[in-house]
Amino acid sequence: MQLSTLDRLKKALLDTQEQVRDFKNYANDIQDEEISEFFQTCAENEGEQAAKLQKLIEENQA
């Protein structure tokens, strides 16, 4: 089955949103402040990527 560009964008968005949740959970679960902050930064970076993917999805649905 061939995935369209829009399908790939949607899958990437779902994967990225999952990464955000995972990194946030890691940040909350880890006691080491430096590592916790690292995971929080990762969550924020993935969140930015998710926002970009969402924008691309909206632009490509038109």
The dihedral through the CA atoms of 8, 13, 14, 16 has a sign that is positive
pLDDT at 57: 97
pLDDT at 34: 98
Per residue in 5-54, pLDDT (tens digit) is 999 999 999 999 999 999 999 999 999 999 999 999 999 999 999 999 99
Cβ 23 vs Cβ 40: under 8 Å? yes
- Evaluate if residue 62 carries a pLDDT over 90: no
